[in-house]
Structure 1
């Protein structure tokens, strides 16, 4: 059964195609940057809203426990990959190593989670504070690239490195937590 909070999580996945479309149009018309920012704002607000609604209405479900992080990962990974492409996105863009770190971490975590489920019959998908901070910095990094040249390059580089550091550390912590469950 789809609860209201699950529908809100699912809506984030449905916002991915319009976001991708707008990102691919920026090099033809820079006004699409504003559409990208608006869509990211809606996605971010819906991410906060679904958790609030689930707790407030006591609708915390197993489906929601999977759907919420999957929606987050899809939005973040797809955005980072596209925003690093010199064929699609104008400057400034992510250096290729940033989406590589983010995607590799998330793929390792997904594979580890599935392995844990196969070995133990259970899995813990609860986010940690490090994971939430990592996600927050990933969103800030994406928005800083979407804003374009309004962010000075030294600030952009600082945001990128901070994002990568938190992404890496949170990945190590999730792996540590997964190994402890074996």
Structure 2
């Protein structure tokens, strides 16, 4: 087998997919600087959807081909948070998220930062907090909501109420975000309160 497909290789196919997801982030930012142009929104959406697919695919392939690695375990959550966080920031930048809808984005961003901090703290104590099924649904809802919002006005021309659908889904994912964030803190609370 070559270096790209062995389980011991740092740069195996699942890790390369994760790295590609990180590389997609600045490309999405670049497109959203011209978000008033339909082609830029469609390109941003395409990059985001491909990145979301690789999010599923890299984990699936790593498990199926037994290619889990320390690099993959580190980069995968970073890639997830980067793609979601940067997309939300760019949607606020281009005024897709305005007024009280910005709060849905703020809730999602704050939860991601707080849970990352909690996980890092618990990891130092060698305490693992497993990802729940609801947290996976939360991530799926976030990805679908952001995809609708990235399509935005360009999507509205093809399917009416694309933007509105994205906003509703973003609020649903924000509520799921609050609930799953509470779950994580409840699971780690007794470790936080120990002296």
When the two structures are superposed, what TM-score results if normalisation uses the length of structure 1?
A: 0.86
Q: Say whether residues 1:30 and 2:43 are aligned partners.
A: no
Q: 1:72-87 alignment to 2 at 5 Å?
A: 72-85=80-93
Structure 1 SS opposite 2:171: helix
Query: Partners in 2 of 1:43 and 1:7 — Cα distance?
Result: 12
What is residue 110 of structure 1 aligned with on the other side? 116
Q: Which runs of 4+ in 1 moved over 6 A?
A: none
Q: Say whether residues 1:53 and 2:58 are aligned partners.
A: no
What are the superposed Cα offsets for residues 21-76 of structure 1, whole Å, 9 maximum, x if unpaired? 0111112x222111011101110111111012101111122332221111001110
Q: Say whether residues 1:133 and 2:137 are aligned partners.
A: yes
Structure 1 unaligned blocks of 5 or more: none
Q: Say whether residues 1:147 and 2:151 are aligned partners.
A: yes
What is residue 174 of structure 1 aligned with on the other side? 184
Conserved in 2, the CA contact under 8 Å of 1:33 and 1:146? yes
Aligned length: 175
What is residue 5 of structure 2 aligned with on the other side? none
Query: Partners in 2 of 1:63 and 1:123 — Cα distance?
Result: 20
Conserved in 1, the CA contact under 8 Å of 2:111 and 2:178? yes
Query: Partners in 2 of 1:64 and 1:55 — Cα distance?
Result: 11
Conserved in 1, the CA contact under 8 Å of 2:146 and 2:166? no
What is residue 165 of structure 1 aligned with on the other side? 175
Query: Partners in 2 of 1:175 and 1:55 — Cα distance?
Result: 28
Query: Partners in 1 of 2:38 and 2:129 — Cα distance?
Result: 38
Structure 2 SS opposite 1:15: helix
What is residue 4 of structure 2 aligned with on the other side? none
Conserved in 1, the CA contact under 8 Å of 2:49 and 2:147? no
Query: Partners in 2 of 1:6 and 1:180 — Cα distance?
Result: 34
Relative to structure 2, which stretch is displaced further, 127-136 or 59-68?
A: 59-68
Query: Partners in 1 of 2:77 and 2:166 — Cα distance?
Result: 26
Q: Say whether residues 1:93 and 2:97 are aligned partners.
A: yes
Equivalent of residue 43 in structure 1, options 30, 47, 51: 51
